[in-house]
């Protein structure tokens, strides 16, 4: 199934939760969706017979610029039917909340923890949302564009970049 | 006599433990010697690759990618270079494509040799490790001849290669292949059919296809579960559609499909297939061609983004790159194969002995450098 057809199918089913379809400016055709209530969309993508998106290849957080919304990108693949789709969702910088898909795709468990760790995106419904790469008591979210490292970490000075 | 109390105990395996292949900590919940829960604790080797990448020009990121998966630096560089090239729409000279495939496949053999050797080491077989490293040295010699480095190469530049190969390289590679194809029989003799090895690995840590796909497991562990997905075949990149090679799958010859022995066996056969590809690529290698002719003067991909995946020795290596039209990327996310491959260990390791967990971990062949990035 082509990305365009998947988009038509999804917007027929979920209406205004599916925002727009992007083919320009990306090598992977992308559907923008709303951050809240996204879990049923993924459940549908995975279980619907003509879609069967059983493999979540990648889940990435992204912060385009210092003032913008935060982004979560999902790259999906169907191992059975061999088609691809990318989903993207935007969430506000102050209260970044997105539905978790970790119960549906177990691989999302660690990927979501990573996005939480580095961007501070809260995945609602995640079974065990905690930092994964950084230390538990690290302050701030390092991959945010406006991130400023603390001066000290456990009494050790953090060197500033020149 | 009072009643015997069996209490659960938490056992820390690592961060410094010889069998963890790096700095990894496994928190085991054990009931006697049976493991009831495994929680991997990672991040000890986090070097903020993605943060660095956002402050470096595109071509300056290449050396960092090699340092993530240090056992397959050529593969990591290849994937990154191809992602940026696709974003920019660069067409490569034939000679570059062939040389890249040769290096990527030699790297796959070298990486699998470490995987197979250290896996043997984990379950108590020391000799195969020495044999594997003997062969790997020969590959590293070839890499040194071409790039000057033995572990971290910075060889695959965006749009080409750092150097053309020196005279005599092709002949030496043929020599290596001749020797290697015979030596694989040696590993089979001392390890593959070894009774102790089979006892330690067959039926241990069985991974079903559903679990593998759901956990995002890729590469040899996925194919050992019988799932026929090799990105070189299903979504061919570079010039992989020109070569004949088989995709080895797990068949459960010594136990169940998807057990630790199958994961080992898929790697051994993949080495043979890679050798086949290298031989074909050497046969077809164009003599003429400037390996730097397609390197752009200024690397400024147009505004846009890409998710590009390639088959690394450990599995699907994906790069998600966002460009805003400047010479520095906005975002480089590395989807590292071992990251997802490790996350499955709790699912497949429950109910086994502590010593089996070491065998399962060895069969997954992780590199902490790319898990923690």
CA atoms within a 13 Å half-sphere pointing along the CA-CB vector of B46? 17
| pLDDT bracket for residue B319 (50, 70, 90) | very high
- Residues of chain A with Cβ-Cβ distance to B308 below 8 Å are 27
Reported as a single tens digit per residue, the pLDDT across A99-156 is: 899 988 999 999 999 999 999 899 988 998 999 988 888 888 888 888 888 888 888 8
Q: Judge whether A146 lies within some domain.
A: yes
Query: How far is B348 from B357, CA to CA, in rounded Å?
Result: 9
| pLDDT bracket for residue B294 (50, 70, 90) | confident
What are the phi and psi torsion angles at B362 (to 5°)? -65, -35
Q: Where are the beta strands (DSSP E) in chain B?
A: 8-13, 25-31, 34-41, 156-157, 160-161, 304-312, 315-323, 331-335
Q: Judge whether A63 lies within some domain.
A: yes
Reported as a single tens digit per residue, the pLDDT across B340-366 is: 999 999 989 888 998 898 889 889 888
Q: What mean pLDDT do residues B30-40 have? A: 88
Q: Are B346 and B364 in contact (CB under 8 A)?
A: no
CATH assignment of the domain containing A30 = 3.30.460.80
pLDDT of residue B100: 92
With tokens 């210092």, the residue in question is A66
Reported as a single tens digit per residue, the pLDDT across A19-58 is: 888 877 778 888 888 888 888 888 888 888 888 888 898 9
Average pLDDT, chain B: 88
| Kind and range of the H or E run holding A89 | strand A84-91
B343 to A107: CB separation less than 8 angstroms, yes or no = yes
Whether B109 shows a pLDDT value over 90: the answer reads yes
Reported as a single tens digit per residue, the pLDDT across B218-254 is: 999 999 998 998 998 888 888 998 898 999 998 888 8
| pLDDT bracket for residue A162 (50, 70, 90) | low
| Kind and range of the H or E run holding A72 | strand A70-77
Q: What mean pLDDT do residues B276-285 have? A: 91
Query: How far is B283 from B275, CA to CA, in rounded Å?
Result: 12
| pLDDT bracket for residue B102 (50, 70, 90) | very high
Looking at the complex, does the CB of residue B17 fall below 8 Å from at least one CB of chain A?
no
Looking at the complex, does the CB of residue B27 fall below 8 Å from at least one CB of chain A?
no
- What chain B holds in terms of domains, given with CATH numbers, is 49-348 (1.10.645.10)
Total structural domains within chain A: 1
B46 to A134: CB separation less than 8 angstroms, yes or no = yes
Whether B314 shows a pLDDT value over 80: the answer reads yes
Query: How far is B47 from B373, CA to CA, in rounded Å?
Result: 6
Q: Judge whether A26 lies within some domain.
A: yes
Could you give the percent of chain B with pLDDT greater than 90?
A: 34
Residue B115, token pair as written in the block: 């995987």
Looking at the complex, does the CB of residue A22 fall below 8 Å from at least one CB of chain B?
no
Q: What mean pLDDT do residues B4-27 have? A: 78
Whether A161 shows a pLDDT value over 70: the answer reads no
For chain B positions 29-48, those within 8 Å of chain A (CB to CB) are 42-43, 46, 48
Q: Judge whether A148 lies within some domain.
A: yes
How large is the ipTM?
Answer: 0.89
Specify burial of residue B33 (Cβ count, 10 A radius: 0-12, 13-18, 19+): exposed
pLDDT of residue B295: 87
Task: Output the pTM of the full model.
Answer: 0.89
Long-range contact pairs involving A140-147 (C-beta distance under 8 Å, separation at least 24): A141/A117, A142/A118, A142/B48, A142/B51, A143/A61, A143/A63, A143/A118, A143/A119, A143/B50, A143/B51, A143/B54, A144/A63, A144/A70, A144/A119, A144/A120, A145/A63, A145/A64, A145/A65, A145/A66, A146/A66
Residues in chain B: 373
- Residues of chain A with Cβ-Cβ distance to B87 below 8 Å are 27
CB contacts < 8 A, A to B, total 92
Q: Judge whether A162 lies within some domain.
A: no
Q: Distance of CA B106 to CAs B65, B109, B142, B176, Å?
A: 18, 5, 9, 10
**Residue-number span of the structural domain to which A27 is assigned:** 3-157
B50 to A82: CB separation less than 8 angstroms, yes or no = no
Q: Are B212 and B364 in contact (CB under 8 A)?
A: no
Q: Judge whether A24 lies within some domain.
A: yes
């Amino acid at each position: 199934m082509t990305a365009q057809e998947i988009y038509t199918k999804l917007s027929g089913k979920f209406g205004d939760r599916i925002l727009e379809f992007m083919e320009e400016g990306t090598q992977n055709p992308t559907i923008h969706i709303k951050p809240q209530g996204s879990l049923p969309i993924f459940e549908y993508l995975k279980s619907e017979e003509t879609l069967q998106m059983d493999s979540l290849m990648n889940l990435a957080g992204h912060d385009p610029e210092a003032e913008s919304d935060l982004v979560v990108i999902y790259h999906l693949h169907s191992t059975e039917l061999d088609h691809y789709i990318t989903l993207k969702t935007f969430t506000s910088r102050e209260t970044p909340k997105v539905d978790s898909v970790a119960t549906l795709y177990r691989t999302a468990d660690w990927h979501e923890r990573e996005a939480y760790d580095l961007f501070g995106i809260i995945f609602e419904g995640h079974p065990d949302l905690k930092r994964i790469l950084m230390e538990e008591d690290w302050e701030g979210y390092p991959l945010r564009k406006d991130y400023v490292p603390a001066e000290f970490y456990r009494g050790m000075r953090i060197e500033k970049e020149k | 006599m009072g009643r015997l109390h069996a209490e659960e105990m938490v056992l820390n395996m690592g961060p410094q433990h010889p069998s963890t292949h790096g700095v990894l900590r496994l928190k085991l919940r054990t009931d006697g010697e049976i493991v009831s829960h495994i929680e991997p604790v990672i991040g000890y080797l986090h070097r903020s690759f993605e943060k660095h990448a956002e402050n470096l020009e595109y071509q300056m990121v290449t050396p960092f990618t090699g340092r993530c998966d240090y056992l397959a630096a050529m593969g990591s560089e290849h994937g990154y270079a191809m992602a940026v090239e696709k974003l920019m729409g660069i067409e490569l000279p034939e000679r570059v494509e062939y040389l890249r495939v040769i290096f990527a496949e030699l790297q796959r053999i070298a990486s699998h040799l470490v995987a197979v050797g250290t896996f043997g080491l984990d379950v108590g077989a020391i000799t195969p490790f020495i044999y594997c490293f003997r062969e790997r040295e020969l590959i590293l010699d070839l890499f040194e001849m071409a790039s000057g480095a033995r572990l971290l190469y910075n060889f695959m530049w965006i749009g080409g290669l750092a150097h053309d190969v020196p005279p005599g390289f092709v002949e030496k590679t043929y020599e290596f292949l001749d020797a290697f194809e015979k030596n694989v029989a040696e590993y089979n003799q001392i390890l593959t059919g070894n009774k102790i090895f089979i006892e330690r690995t067959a039926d241990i840590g069985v991974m079903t296809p559903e679990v593998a796909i759901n956990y995002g497991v890729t590469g040899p562990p996925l194919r050992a579960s019988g799932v026929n997905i090799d990105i070189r075949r299903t979504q061919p990149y570079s010039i992989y559609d020109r070569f004949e090679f088989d995709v080895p799958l797990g068949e459960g010859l010594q136990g169940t499909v998807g057990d630790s022995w199958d994961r080992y066996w898929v790697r051994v056969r993949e080495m043979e297939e890679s050798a086949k590809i290298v031989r074909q690529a050497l046969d077809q290698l164009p003599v003429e061609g400037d390996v730097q002719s397609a390197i752009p003067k200024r690397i400024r991909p147009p505004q846009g983004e890409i998710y590009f995946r390639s088959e690394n020795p450990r599995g699907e290596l994906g790069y998600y790159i966002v460009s805003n039209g400047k010479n520095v990327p906005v975002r480089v996310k590395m989807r590292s194969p071992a990251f997802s491959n490790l996350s499955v260990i709790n699912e497949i390791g429950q109910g086994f002995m502590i010593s089996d967990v070491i065998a399962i971990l060895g069969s997954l062949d992780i590199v902490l450098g790319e898990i923690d990035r």
